A and B are shown apart, each in its own frame.
Chain A
Amino acid sequence: MEHIRTPKVEQVKLLDRFSNKSVIGTLHLTATHLIFVESNSTSAQEIWILHHHIASVEKLSLTTSGCPLLIQCRNFRLVHFVIPRERDCHDIYSSLLRLLRPVSYDELYAFSYNPKQNDQQREEGWQLIDLAAEFERMGVPCDQWQLTDVNREYKVCETYPRDLYVPITASKPIIVGSSKFRSKGRFPVLTYFYQEKKAAVCRCSQPLSGFSARCLEDEHMLQAISKSNHNSRYIYVMDTRPKLNALANRAAGKGYENEDNYSNIRFQFVGIENIHVMRGSLQKLLEVVGTRSLSMTDYLVGLENSGWLRHIKAIMDAAIFLAKAVTVEGASVLVHCSDGWDRTAQVCALGSLLMDPYYRTIKGFMVLIEKDWISFGHKFADRCDQLDPDPKEVSPIFTQFLECVWQLTEQFPQAFEFSEWFLIQIHEHVHSCQFGNFLGNSQRQREVLQLKERTYSLWAHLLSEKQNYLNPVYSPSFAESHPVLEPSTQACHFKFWRNMYHQYDRSMHPRQSILKQVLTFKESNRELEGTVQALKTKLQKFGVSTSPLKPQTPPRDRSLPLRPQSLILGAPLLSRKEVQQEEDEEVFGEEAREDAPASTDGERTVEGSSATENGYGELTGSFGSKNEPAVVTLEFGVARMTC
């Protein structure tokens, strides 16, 4: 709190990013949030921004109406305040600068966040995901694969988890030898086992081969992986980097496997660019889509020039290659990049998702993230800029993975148990530092931080509101008929993910949502079914048979189930109680509007769709003074963090 000099500023103007609209309100600064409350009593929208979400704060040059403050968030929200007095602006600015640069882990929100659960509930939350059980589900350990305790003390590789699965024939000396020949000691280990063909997906980092170095243990290690699979004589080694990058690494004593030294490997470059290219690409993308009155031509050209979708497709292509090699050829695959924690995580996780329907369920997807991202040491702290910022380490690697999954949900609407809101919510919390799961760079570091004792698990939180993230058209029978997804790689199937990158730009979104409507229907179906069951039991208690009666009265009119309001339609449903509240407010808002004199202009539009926001052109000037209708909104995600 000592960093906050001005906790409250009145008469702050919030400018809309894509139109000339603005609203006046009060800005509050708390230890964890920046809060903007609109003064207009009928609509009174609130914006809650978690400090951890803020990527940058910029003070622009003074204007006649005040001092502009531009805040960019990691969840792609961009807010533009104008603060009347320069001094207030400066206070807020410097407080924020300090607040959004935590110097130690203890300052992160996760360590102060308390959802009013007791220790037991918290522990249960952390026990939800059990990776040993997950490997068991895959059929490991088995006659060819075993658990090794070589990394129990993090002595062989400190960025790997304690429990690792290796071929039975790989002895300790081989493992240790191999790890010395691999960058950061990340030797080949099992990450997914395709039981049907006994084919394994393994991951590691690049070999320290330089121009000619060899390592017999490493060669043995690959041999052992190959031998464990009787279905195929060879294994694939996928280097997910572009060939040029791999070549350049040789000069630094690293590099890639020489096919002459390893028996029966098929070596393959995939060509996914490195973290720096990805960071630049996202930056370009955001610049383009953040442009005001963007023309269709500039949009498409900008989308192309950013290269973003090209990168997404490269990751997808690699995952498809992996899935095909395993499921069709029955060959084992070893995947690596440079350090084996970025591109390797993307490709292994996405490939497993294509091969195994379990990972397409809500619980399974959590397991997948826990396994391939968290436990194998994707550097969340560095990539997501949690602490001690090094701009060169930040990169949207995990975001890309989520986007790839989204692209798949678009191609296969029935294959996933979750909807895109699940992905977006995960993205939200990867950056929020509200839960312990994504803090730090490796399992070891997480243990040192005692996260399981001091913070809460995101997975328990997400599961508790599971119904919000369900995909209403999910069909488990689709999974049976399509155990392996074969997505089209035609370029036209790769689309811009508007709900992710414009999540907070209200004017961008459809005003009505099929997803939400169908979810509501489905939920009410379930409830009615429950009621029917309850009534049946009641009847049975009275000893009445439940044979259908002859129709006697005409069917009654029933109003539609309540539809919750939110910023983006299709965003998760709120809990029943909240909905009721929202709905009441909404009705109140309606009435207020109807009764209001002509000042609100009697203009009524569907779900807040309006002309001024859409900017059809020349006429907007003449309407500038007219008020927009009140719309009750609830900021998705952020608002809930206060509980």
Chain B
Amino acid sequence: MEHLRTPKVENVHLLDRSSGQRRASVGTLYLSATHSIFVEDNPETRKETWVLHSMVNSVEMPSNSPAGSQLILRCKDFRVLQILIPQERDCLDIHASLVRLSRPEKYSELYCLSFNPNVNKEEREESWSFIDLMSDYRRMGVPNNLWVMTAANSEYRVCDTYPSELFVPKSAAPTIITGSSRFRSRGRFPVLSYFHQDTLAAVCRCSQPLSGFSGRCQEDEMMLQAVMRSNPGSDFIYVVDTRPKLNAMANRAAGKGYENEDHYTNIKLQFIGIENIHVMRSSQQKIIDVGEMRSPSMTDFLWGLENSGWLKHIKAILDAGVFIARAVADEGISVLVHCSDGWDRTTQACSVASLLLDPYYRTIRGLMVLIEKDWISFGHKFSHRYAHLDGDPKEVSPVMDQFLECVWQLSEQFPCAFEFNERFLLTIHTHVYSCQYGTFLGNSQRERKELRLPERTHSVWSQLWKDRVDFRNPLFKADLSQSQRVLRPNTTPYCFKMWKGLYSHIDKSMPPCQSPADFLSAMREESQQLEEELTNHQERIAALTGRPIVWEKTEVLKRRTTHLQQRHLGPDPPTSYIQPITGHGQAVALKQANQMALNKEPNLYLPTECHSKLKDHDPDDCSTCSDRESGVADLRSRSSSGGDYAKDPDWE
């Protein structure tokens, strides 16, 4: 690889605070075409840390310390790795390589095009057909006598950022569609996003009208009429402009803007006030900084949280979703949602609304469908927003991060309503950035087709589905979501919390024994095993007492995995079971490691025995679980930073 100057450096110190590490470990740093890999020297653990180049957001080289040269790797999942390299020359080489490798210039350099997870062609193709959008439209009851599929955009003739298959009001003739699309930014005319069978009201989406100060378009006005007519019970529609009103007005000067209520009959215009991608980008940077603060005071922290504005933005997005869901479910009124281009804020608002309206989207598969539909197919610009390629930094913005956070905030309010857990959301977040799978690549369906991604890459959805056991929320109650179809969240400010799982790494050192969710998952799993065992025993007893048939051999049912043993720290086992098997945490780690090993490239500069050592990194986790030091460590950092200890004249 031409970008690799120094493939291997020894005696490197690595500090990964985000994984709960407190002291730097010493080891060897390898650079492959796709990953930085750090292998600990400690023969007991040989712990490995793998960092995908495409996950690296920035590589900083602060001033040298006497012990060597420093590198700071900031990752797109907000991990921060500090690396100390003894020789400055090595450090410069590694820095230069990483800077280049973390900023691919062409799609062909991306990891997903070389990633080969040992599956055959059929499996790869199946992975792409795992999510079928048409079946989701059928699930919500379209096409029907109100909404029909239009061929207007086949071969992306009308709008190159929309999918080719779209649903429109039955009464919208092709001329209306093309006329309306000419009057909308980027040709994104009003189409169906979600149809609510209970009330026949619909959530539709588009981009802003090119109205300027006085422009109007008859076809566009007819299009909105058609949307209204496709909801027999109503005599108006809401047009939700998700932008702050001021921004929308400013757009008029550029020949864009919003619907004039004098021209469009029977619409009610509603502004929501979600800020633009630039505001969001800088807000996220601020909340990342809050998460990274070292020993902040409570005041620093709360002030930082307020100053970042992040939760305010999350609330605005959730409020938009709540408004739409209420209109559709409670009032039975259809809603047309737009912002400027209709691919960021509109996408957020529509998908949050769908999540509130339809329990299906709160399942593991359902959330995948929702993201595939509202985000991927409708042309959310993944590659631009998440900087898949080196490009315009002003295009980058955490739009998807905010959606995932809205889902997380909702799951905190409704702990039984979601089939998936936080880990699922965090995993999706990682893959939106990682470029390991082709799913999120490109900026539109058309681009993905041109890149022939289904032939050249793998889809993440089927992989996530395979791992779904790890993503289950043990508290999920499917029957509950039937009775509680529409979620009505409380959006009072005190209901919002900082998403620590994403932005703060303090609790990452939390031992698994103290996670109720994992504990309950393990218990659920164990109950399943017990059920089987129970049936087996019953059959056997029946057989024994009924007919004296000698059975082949009683299979001792092994209790699979569980956190139960892990969390049991006392001397006696909880029950009289015999075999403590590998902990669940280990299994997950092993799986991840295996998966990584599968990704291995032929030119990986890594001694092979490392892979066999992968599982050894777990005993280390166990030791943190026996004794958490955060409280203590915090005290120490206080004393070193000239805290109260130092102020005391009597002290020392």
Query: Do A and B actually bind?
Result: no
Residues of B within 8 A of A (CB): none
Instruction: Give residues in A with beta carbon < 8 Å to B.
Output: none
